[in-house]
């Protein structure tokens, strides 16, 4: 499998991706199928193939045929919209929120 994919232009050099887009889902599905074929003589069977596109996104193909797209998102649940030490806040005397929060009268007033 390594020789088939390592240092190759997948869209051109690697069937079936010369006819089908090499999305993370399609690659994971194909890699799992090839791993199943390569290990067919063993008692242990591949269960899944996880392919990470980049930090925060990927796809997993399961032996059951299910394929999942995965996206990881990070967020902050902080209550303030800006830091009290933020220089802009001291200069403008307003929060970073584009609209005032109800009942507070704070915000930039920009629509």
| pLDDT tens digits, 4-59 | 888 888 888 889 988 999 999 999 999 999 999 999 999 999 999 999 988 889 99
Furthest-apart CA atoms within the chain: distance in Å: 71
pLDDT, residue 105, reads 52
Reported as a pLDDT band with limits 50, 70 and 90, residue 102 is low
- In-domain check, residue 23: yes
Looking at the fold, whether 55 and 18 belong to one and the same domain comes out as yes
Q: How confident is the model at residue 80 (pLDDT cuts 50, 70, 90)?
A: low
CA nearest neighbour of 27 among 2, 56, 5: 5
Range of the domain at 98: 81-111
The mean per-residue pLDDT over the stretch 76-91 comes to 56
End-to-end CA distance of the chain: 55
pTM: 0.62
- Whether residues 41 and 62 share a domain: the answer is yes
CA distance linking residue 57 with residue 69, whole number of Å: 8
Query: Are 65 and 90 contained in the same domain?
Result: no
């Amino acid at each position: 499998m390594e020789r088939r994919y390592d240092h190759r232009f997948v869209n051109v050099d690697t069937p079936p991706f010369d006819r089908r887009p090499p999305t993370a889902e399609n690659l994971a599905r194909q890699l799992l199928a090839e791993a199943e074929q390569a290990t067919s003589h063993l008692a242990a069977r591949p269960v899944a193939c996880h392919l990470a596109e980049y930090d925060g996104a990927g796809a997993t193909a399961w032996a059951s045929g299910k394929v999942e797209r995965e996206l990881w998102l990070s967020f902050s649940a902080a209550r303030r919209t800006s830091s009290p030490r933020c220089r802009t806040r001291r200069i403008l005397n307003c929060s970073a929120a584009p609209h005032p929060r109800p009942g507070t009268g704070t915000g930039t007033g920009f629509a």
